[in-house]
Amino acid sequence: MQHIVIIGNGIYGVTLARHVRKRSDKKITVISSESDYFFSRTALMYVYMGHMKFEHTQPYENNFGKKIG
Ligand SMILES: Cc1cc2nc3c(=O)[nH]c(=O)nc-3n(C[C@H](O)[C@H](O)[C@H](O)COP(=O)(O)OP(=O)(O)OC[C@H]3O[C@@H](n4cnc5c(N)ncnc54)[C@H](O)[C@@H]3O)c2cc1C
């Protein structure tokens, strides 16, 4: 079985994983040196300014990676 390794779990890495999963059953590994789950790091400033809540920076469930596996 082919194994797709994606470095970085920013929006690009997560979107790529979603598209690979839609089109195939290839094994996917997303490597991140940050959190296990995706949140918009650059939107954090809006949370600090009180314009957004933290959960608004998380478009996917935290177990999304395990689901897409
Ligand atoms: C201050 C700021 C505000 C912004 N505001 C907006 C906005 O309001 N709206 C908007 O649409 N866009 C905004 N952007 C742009 C948006 O954040 C980027 O376009 C988007 O984050 C790019 O996504 P990405 O997945 O390509 O990269 P990134 O989000 O940078 O994700 C790359 C990930 O890869 C990881 N990584 C890199 N190298 C390695 C490695 N060797 N090993 C392991 N992990 C690695 C990094 O740690 C990071 O988590 C903003 C950007 C900044 C800096």
Q: Are 14 and 38 in contact (CB under 8 A)?
A: yes
Query: What per-residue confidence (pLDDT) applies to 64?
Result: 78
Q: Probe ligand 1: pick from 9, 14, 42, max atoms within 8 Å of CB?
A: 42
Q: How far is CA 9 from the centre of its chain?
A: 5
Nearest CA to ligand 1 atom 45: 8
Residues (pLDDT < 50) of the chain are none
Query: What per-residue confidence (pLDDT) applies to 52?
Result: 96
Query: What per-residue confidence (pLDDT) applies to 69?
Result: 63
Query: What per-residue confidence (pLDDT) applies to 27?
Result: 94
3-state SS string over 6-33? Answer: EECCCHHHHHHHHHHHHHCCCEEEEECC
Query: What per-residue confidence (pLDDT) applies to 34?
Result: 81
Query: What per-residue confidence (pLDDT) applies to 33?
Result: 87
Please tell me the pTM assigned to this model: 0.85
Ligand 1: does its nearest atom lie under 6 Å from the Cβ of 57?
A: no
